[in-house]
Amino acid sequence: MQDSRKAWSGRFNEPVSDLVKRYTASVGFDKRMAEVDIQGSLAHATMLQRAGVLTEDELRAIQSGMADILDEIRHGTFEWSLDLEDVHMNIERRLTQKIGDAGKRLHTGRSRNDQVATDIRLYLRGAIDVLIGLVHELQISLLELAEKHAATVMPGFTHLQVAQPVTFGHHMLAYVEMLGRDAERFADARRRVNRLPLGSAALAGTTFPVDRAYTAELLNFEGVCENSLDAVSDRDFAIEFTAAAALTMTHLSRLSEELVLWMSPRFGFIDIADRFCTGSSIMPQKKNPDVPELVRGKTGRVNGHLVALLTLMKGQPLAYNKDNQEDKEPLFDTVDTLTDTLRIYADMMRGVTVKPDAMAQAVKQGYATATDLADYLVKKGLPFRDAHEAVALAVRYAEEKRRDLSELQLVELQSFSPLIEADIAEVLTAEGSIAARDHIGGTAPDQVRLQISRWRQRLGV
């Protein structure tokens, strides 16, 4: 029969009530850290043996017992107990059942405070590595779409009004840039995640001769947390990660909004593959872009987790407090939500069909080359403010005639400025407009292709 006594039960005269057990237990969600908990414990045991705290036989027994427990966890035969509160005590109790007193000695020189802080960092470090890879996969999907449509003209918008012609490839590259910064933020946050708290014990360090640098080396940490109070109570790294995740989700939410708009018949710029859409229970014709809509919704979920973590920490005195048990669920859900979103998004973007004709038609609906006409006049010597006024009058005239600027006769255009000559025809086409923006960061197809090449080089694809 399993001994369910608490690790600290000797201090109390009565057992904890069942309601309190359920309220305070974390094993229901922190058991996902079981493998990194074992990883950290093995490193701790190796360090203790080297320091002379454990014998070689005790270390071998711990290693053997942990290997068996890891196998049980992976095969789903490990019995988790609510009475044992958390992942740490469940594993430690099972180890003691298997190997006896050597299992009880494993906790020498550490506390659950520095143990959980270590586990979270190990877990999050691995999650960040996966997420950076997924960000890169999505960037590759966007690059492939951008390359295919490097010269596909579409309207660029400001205030959601047609502004100037751009290419669809250029538009996709904007999100490649955003995701590039997201990957940089995750990589930068990883450096602060990758510091070892273990050896700080409950809050003040330990009297045992621990070698924290050696433990850090065993666990591939870049260094140790250098203040024991800070080490056990710091959750900055989790907040920073969640902030980076919230930014990534916000970027994807912006793209989702555009995909939803573009798929609407009022735009008709794209179609999304059926496998990412659903229908209506009552309207047979409907094809709803559920995935991008859900990404918009789940962005609020991740943003909420960031606020929850900030609020969790704002009033805590040093050092560890039970409040910190509440850090895991928002952190885990952030990892899960972003991981799933990035995976499905990379696949979904490969299933986007672009409709160039609808985009080209939309460019003509908002006098998108008006700025090109103003620039043309400036190059002819007219001050910009005068050029702006002349073109504004030309746009008003074209609007009254229900024609695009490119559809006006030369004599009509010359009525607004005698500087306009026959070469204006090329300037007023959408293709001429985008080709003229031939500089780094510009929308010219050649620049789009160069930027795609640079990104492929950075990503190694």
Enumerate the active-site residues. Answer: 159, 280
Which phi and psi (to 5°) does residue 353 adopt? -105, 125
Between CA 419 and CA 391 the distance in angstroms is: 12
Torsion of CA 32, 86, 218, 191, to 10 degrees: 60
> What is residue 156's three-state secondary structure?
strand
For residues 16 and 41, the answer to whether their CB atoms sit within 8 Å is: no
Whose CA is closest to 79, among 3, 193, 190?
3
> What is residue 417's three-state secondary structure?
coil
Positive/negative CA dihedral, 182, 183, 188, 194:
positive
For residues 36 and 220, the answer to whether their CB atoms sit within 8 Å is: no
DSSP secondary structure string, 213-267? HHHHHHTT-SEE-S-HHHHHH--HHHHHHHHHHHHHHHHHHHHHHHHHHHHSTTT
Integer CA distances (angstroms), 24 to 3, 86, 263, 322, 356, in order: 19, 9, 47, 9, 58
Distance separating the N- and C-terminal Cα atoms of the chain: 57
Whose CA is closest to 352, among 89, 169, 131?
169
Tell me the pairing of strands 352-354 and 270-272: antiparallel
Q: Is 420 left (phi over 0), alpha (psi -120 to 50) or beta?
A: beta
For residues 243 and 306, the answer to whether their CB atoms sit within 8 Å is: yes
DSSP secondary structure string, 281-333? SS-TT--B-HHHHHHHHHHHHHHHHHHHHHHHHTTPPSS--GGGGGGHHHHHH
